[in-house]
Structure 1
Amino acid sequence: MSDDSIRLVTIGRILRRRRRLLTLLTLVGALVGFGISLLMPPRYTTSASVLMPGAWGERELLTQSEIATSSVVLERAAAALGLPGVDGNELREQVTAKAADGNIIKISGTAETPERAQRLSDQVAQQFVTFVEQIEGDSTAEGAAAPEALRQLVTQTSRRIAELADAAGSGQSVESVQTRTELAKLRTSLQEAVDKLAEVDPAAAKANLVVMGPAVRPADEAPPTRTQLIGAGALLFFLLTVIGHLAAARMSRRLRTEPEIAAALGSTLLGTVDVPGEPSGHQAERRGPRALIRRLLGLDIRWDMPTPRTSGDEAGRKVRYRRVSARLRERVSAPLRVLFVVPDGDESARRAAGQLVTEAESAPSPGSSSRGRPELRVVEVSVSRPMVPDREDESGAVVVLSAGSWTAGELAGIAEACADARHEVIGIVLADPVRSRPSRAAGRHRDAAAPALAVGADSTGGSG
């Protein structure tokens, strides 16, 4: 898994083999989302629209939006609402304003109830219009005083022009006539400017803002709603579970290939044997609360292993065991005395070792009868603190294990434990779990092999 890219088949394998765990954690996520929704009261949002007549630029509309949420407007709205303990700073978190198309300022209010949200939006919009009209009214008063002063200045200028015209003479000379004519034109232009200025209405510069009706009372909650929180919690826990499985598989250092396993144990591979699916009798042996929980959640089945292939018949599987036994006899001098070392918890390897003991005992000796009866033992060792029995008269040890179940460090620890007990690892046998085809003959073979599968730690397979 660490070297393979994540494919859809991997996701499908997680969904198929961890469906119980995924279902449970998804429900837990939904409950977490429901709990968060209880801590967050429902919120309702509505908007009131204010029309800005005239030509407004984008920056001007942005300025008006900032004014709508300014502290002055919000303080006035809070005072008008008369809510105890509510001030402008608190309303700042509940009110937003933005410029929309058509010179419209949309003021949105959020509150715990639809009625309060509607009142909040309407009140802020009204206070915004009042504040802007107040500002424009002050500007209009200042603008009205300026034209009056200008009229007085123009009147004084006209008198001065008349005095200059009288002082220019009676108009008997050409120069005096030209001077009087220019002064008359200047006085006429000033009078026309004053008349046009009088036609301008100071009140025309005032921006008549219009509130476009009351805010609509909201019927639905503002996001995130309770349903959204529950769905988000369920989806989050589901995705985290899937991602956690993928991350754990990528970080896994369990050895899967034959060369890696052989290098970790420092020995050679004798062969691979097929182990049919575990019978129900062995499932019953796993008891206790933890085993029950693992079975209920489906954690007793490895998800990152490929689907076991369908095995052939019982005769084909026995051929594999005989061939491994024959290779073992070739590597061990007579009589055949071997210690089968099985990692604790590797049920497939334990069953394979028991079947190897049965086949080795039942196989005829290739030489004379002086080779002796095989003396075989199966021991299970803990991978965390491996301990192998001291060597007695064994010719060596054979490690039986399943591929993809143990790391290089764990296998190296088993090899060191064998070396400490003066056992030479003379070979490795891999147990390959397969799906057996249901048949009566296969059932009889499994029943016949049951005593060999019960071989436990430090048990002797060759005692007669």
Structure 2
Amino acid sequence: MNDDTIRLVTIGRVLRRRWRLLTVLAVVGALVGYGASVLFPPRYTATASVLLPGQWEDRELLTQAEIATSSAVVDRAAASLGRRGDGGELRDRVGAKATDGNIIKISGTAGSPERAQRLADRVAREFVAFAARIAGGGADPEAVTGPEDLRRKVAETNRRITELADAADPGRTVESVQARTALEKLRTSLEEAMKKLDQADPATNTAGMVVMGPAARPDGAAPPTRTQLVVGGALLSFLLGVIGHLAAARVNRRPRTEPEIAAALGSPLLGTVDVLDERPARRPGQAGPRDRVRRFLGLDTRWDAPAPQRFGDEAGRRVRYRRVCARLRDRLPGPRRLLVVVPDGDDVARRAAEQLVAEAGSASSEGSPGSGPLLLRVVRVPVSQPMVPDRDTASGALVVSSAGTWTAEELAGVAEACADSGHEVVGVVVAGTVRARTARSAGRPPKDTALALAVRGQATGGSA
């Protein structure tokens, strides 16, 4: 799988063979999310709106939003709410932004809906009061009295224009009509200029700020809520578990094909054999709590192993074993005593080796034509520290391994251990798993059928 593109079938295999482990990871992630919600209690956010009448530029609105969250406003809000010290604690829980329509939205965040509503309303009122105070008491006296003097002069000018219009001879001469028209245009121009002056007066706009009602009490907590943290933690742990499986399989460098396994051991391939797919038997040393947990989570079997084929009857499987025995007899001219070396922990290879020993003994006892005695003895070798018994009466070693279980370095270590003990590796047998045909399990083929198929000509020819 390390060279293949990750497909949906691979993800489905992870979900099917590691669903217990993924479920445990999701539960752990949900517990972590719940713990985070306990450490960080839920927050509620309320929003109050302040209307700024008149015409404002965008940068002026941004300035007003900054003033709403300034220390001058927040400190006064903290004092009115009975907070000790300055408003440094509230400053991180108050926000303001300018929206369309000259509206400043002031938000307050607290641990309960009531306190959030009270905080937003208080900051909005303090902002309006602070802006009015700046407009009324903090302005320059000359700047305040200047527009009033100008309005008085404009009023006097309007009265003078009215007097001049009345004094002119109305409608009798062309000059009088032109004079009255010019005076009316002047009056209109002065009125428009005063309207623009009133609209552009910042003191008038600031003093006219209005809080648009109390802030609405929030119905739910601000994100992330406790539910979001729990669901997010479970989903994140689940995805990390799936991604971890895919990443581990992507970097897996274990040989999976028969030629790769034979090349790692440095010996010819004698054939492939099949065993029935079943859970590995519990060994005496695997009764501890750690092993029980591994079996419960499904960690005792590899998830990325190829799915067992859905065919394989007893006669067909025995033919493969007899072909391997026939090839061994052809390769060993002298005494036919071999050690069947099985990597410790490879349950599929162990069961295949035991079946191979049984088939070799059966063929020798029946005295098939051209078949001499073939004595096989199974030896388990740990791959971490491989050790093979010294050579006594055995004339070589036969290595049996399953595909995709061991790395090339581990298989090479087993071959070196055989060479150190004086055993020549005469061949390699690769074991796989198949599923028995349940529909025909009651009718087991007779033994004569298996013997009729296992003739010498078929054993030495063709691929096993």
| Fold shared by both chains (TM-score > 0.5) | yes
Which residue number in structure 2 is paired with residue 255 of structure 1?
255
Cα offsets for 1:366-408 (capped at 9, x unmatched): 6678x5x332211000000000011113221111000000001
Cα offsets for 1:107-128 (capped at 9, x unmatched): 1100011111011100111111
| 1:151 positional shift | 11
For the Cα contact (< 8 Å) 1:400–1:429, is it kept in 2?
Answer: yes
Cα offsets for 1:123-163 (capped at 9, x unmatched): 1111111122222233474423345888999xxxxxxxxxx
Structure 1 residue 136 corresponds to structure 2 residue 135: yes
Question: Bigger CA drift: 141-150 or 53-62?
Answer: 141-150
Q: After the TM superposition, which residues 242-281 of structure 1 pair with which residues of structure 2 at under 5 Å, given as runs?
A: 242-278=242-278
Q: After the TM superposition, which residues 284-363 of structure 1 pair with which residues of structure 2 at under 5 Å, given as runs?
A: 286-363=286-363
Measured in 1, the distance between the counterparts of 2:410 and 2:39 equals: 48
For the Cα contact (< 8 Å) 1:29–1:237, is it kept in 2?
Answer: yes
Structure 1 residue 395 corresponds to structure 2 residue 395: yes
| 1:311 positional shift | 3.0
| 1:219 positional shift | 2.2
Which residue number in structure 2 is paired with residue 228 of structure 1?
228
- Tell me the SS of whatever aligns to 1:46: strand
Which residue number in structure 2 is paired with residue 440 of structure 1?
442
Q: Give the direction of change, closer, same or farther, for the CA distance of 1:144–1:84 in structure 2 (3 Å limit).
A: closer
Measured in 2, the distance between the counterparts of 1:142 and 1:227 equals: 60
For the Cα contact (< 8 Å) 2:37–2:226, is it kept in 1?
Answer: yes
Which residue number in structure 2 is paired with residue 124 of structure 1?
123
| 1:212 positional shift | 0.4
Cα offsets for 1:271-323 (capped at 9, x unmatched): 0001102378x347653322211221122222111211123210110001011
Which residue number in structure 1 is paired with residue 112 of structure 2?
113
Kindly provide the amino acid, as one letter, of the partner of residue 335 in structure 2. Answer: P
Q: Give the direction of change, closer, same or farther, for the CA distance of 1:419–1:114 in structure 2 (3 Å limit).
A: same
Structure 1 residue 145 corresponds to structure 2 residue 152: no
Measured in 1, the distance between the counterparts of 2:144 and 2:301 equals: 89
Q: Give the direction of change, closer, same or farther, for the CA distance of 1:140–1:342 in structure 2 (3 Å limit).
A: same
Q: Give the direction of change, closer, same or farther, for the CA distance of 1:196–1:232 in structure 2 (3 Å limit).
A: closer
For the Cα contact (< 8 Å) 2:313–2:437, is it kept in 1?
Answer: yes
Which residue number in structure 1 is paired with residue 169 of structure 2?
none
Which residue number in structure 2 is paired with residue 168 of structure 1?
none
For the Cα contact (< 8 Å) 1:341–1:399, is it kept in 2?
Answer: yes
Which residue number in structure 2 is paired with residue 214 of structure 1?
214
- Tell me the SS of whatever aligns to 1:54: coil
For structure 2, which runs of at least 5 residues remain unmatched after alignment? 154-182, 448-464
Kindly provide the amino acid, as one letter, of the partner of residue 247 in structure 1. Answer: A
- Tell me the SS of whatever aligns to 2:256: coil
Question: Bigger CA drift: 59-68 or 409-418?
Answer: 59-68
Q: Give the direction of change, closer, same or farther, for the CA distance of 1:39–1:199 in structure 2 (3 Å limit).
A: closer
For structure 1, which runs of at least 5 residues remain unmatched after alignment? 154-187, 446-464
For the Cα contact (< 8 Å) 2:314–2:445, is it kept in 1?
Answer: no
Kindly provide the amino acid, as one letter, of the partner of residue 424 in structure 1. Answer: E
For the Cα contact (< 8 Å) 1:273–1:429, is it kept in 2?
Answer: yes
For the Cα contact (< 8 Å) 1:144–1:202, is it kept in 2?
Answer: no
- Tell me the SS of whatever aligns to 1:274: strand
| 1:437 positional shift | 2.2
Measured in 1, the distance between the counterparts of 2:79 and 2:426 equals: 91
For the Cα contact (< 8 Å) 1:340–1:399, is it kept in 2?
Answer: yes
For the Cα contact (< 8 Å) 1:140–1:202, is it kept in 2?
Answer: no
Measured in 1, the distance between the counterparts of 2:101 and 2:151 equals: 39
Q: Give the direction of change, closer, same or farther, for the CA distance of 1:151–1:34 in structure 2 (3 Å limit).
A: closer
For the Cα contact (< 8 Å) 1:147–1:197, is it kept in 2?
Answer: no
- Tell me the SS of whatever aligns to 1:311: coil
Q: How many residues align?
A: 406
Measured in 2, the distance between the counterparts of 1:201 and 1:244 equals: 69
CA RMSD after TM alignment: 3.0
Q: After the TM superposition, which residues 381-420 of structure 1 pair with which residues of structure 2 at under 5 Å, given as runs?
A: 381-420=381-420
For the Cα contact (< 8 Å) 1:333–1:395, is it kept in 2?
Answer: no
Measured in 1, the distance between the counterparts of 2:429 and 2:194 equals: 109
Cα offsets for 1:306-362 (capped at 9, x unmatched): 211123210110001011111111111233111100000111101111111111122
TM-score normalized by the length of structure 2:
0.81
Question: Bigger CA drift: 299-308 or 385-394?
Answer: 299-308
Kindly provide the amino acid, as one letter, of the partner of residue 396 in structure 2. Answer: G
Q: Give the direction of change, closer, same or farther, for the CA distance of 1:305–1:143 in structure 2 (3 Å limit).
A: same
Measured in 1, the distance between the counterparts of 2:197 and 2:82 equals: 36
- Tell me the SS of whatever aligns to 2:38: helix
- Tell me the SS of whatever aligns to 2:27: helix
- Tell me the SS of whatever aligns to 2:254: coil
Kindly provide the amino acid, as one letter, of the partner of residue 325 in structure 2. Answer: S
- Tell me the SS of whatever aligns to 1:440: coil
For the Cα contact (< 8 Å) 2:329–2:374, is it kept in 1?
Answer: no
Measured in 2, the distance between the counterparts of 1:103 and 1:198 equals: 23
Measured in 2, the distance between the counterparts of 1:251 and 1:52 equals: 63
Q: Give the direction of change, closer, same or farther, for the CA distance of 1:199–1:340 in structure 2 (3 Å limit).
A: closer
Cα offsets for 1:209-257 (capped at 9, x unmatched): 1110000111211111111111111111111111111111112221111
